[in-house]
Amino acid sequence: MKALITSTLIAFASLGTVSVQAASDHAGHGMANQTMAATEIQMVDGQVKKVDKAAGKVTLSHGPLVNLSMPAMTMVFRVKDANWLDQMKAGDKIRFMADNVNGAVTIVHFEPAK
Ligand SMILES: [Cu+2]
């Protein structure tokens, strides 16, 4: 096992600078993507204005949605999980994440604000 690892390392080293460069670039991309995914969608404060269970939508007044380049406003959202609508009523404060799903701004994470 150890001999195999050693010979693999030697094989990599003998491929030269270009291959090593490519390998480290690839690793760098992976890390950058993970960092972006973590910061792209942020939890935002919202207040429920209206719940429309029949349509599967909720009207929220929300703080800025950085990932959607959207300032604070009141608007209608779709919800990823219709059960969340049962946990919302007008006047409730919530925390949520929104994303663009098939062209519709959709709540993809929800929790009641305490
Ligand atoms: Cu909005």
For 14-70, how does the pLDDT look when each residue is reduced to its tens digit (9 = 90+)? 544 444 444 445 444 444 444 444 446 889 999 999 999 999 999 999 999 999 999
Q: Ligand 1 centroid vs 32 CA: distance in angstroms? A: 27
CA of 105 from ligand 1 middle (Å) equals 8
The verdict on 51 and 103 lying in the same domain is: yes
* pLDDT attached to residue 51: 98
Q: What is the pLDDT of residue 11?
A: 52
Query: In this structure, are 54 and 104 located in the same domain?
Result: yes
Strands 93-101 and 44-52: antiparallel
| Separation in Å, CA 97 to CA 4, 46, 103 | 47, 10, 16
**In this predicted model, what pLDDT tens digit does every residue of 64-85 receive, in sequence order?**
999 999 999 999 999 999 999 9
Q: Measure 44 CA to ligand 1 centroid, in angstroms.
A: 11
> How many Å lie between the centroid of ligand 1 and the Cα of residue 2?
57
First CA to last CA across the chain, in angstroms? Answer: 54
How high is the pLDDT of residue 112?
94
- Check whether residue 16 and residue 49 sit in a common domain: no
Rounded Cα–Cα distance for residues 42 and 65 (Å): 8
Cα 113 to ligand 1 centroid, rounded to whole Å? 19
Its domain, for residue 22, covers 2-40
- CA–centroid distance, 35 to ligand 1, in Å, is 24
Task: Output the pTM of the full model.
Answer: 0.65
Residues 82 and 65 occupy one common structural domain? yes
> Could you tell me if 80 and 107 are in contact, meaning their C-beta atoms sit under 8 angstroms apart?
yes
61 & 89 share domain: yes
| Number of separate domains in the chain | 2
59 Cα to the center of ligand 1, angstroms: 10
The better pLDDT of the pair 31, 5 is held by 5
One domain for residues 18 and 57: no
Among residues 83, 94, 93, 90, the alpha carbon closest in space to that of 56 is found at: 83
Burial class (CB in 10 A: 0-12, 13-18, 19+), 68: middle
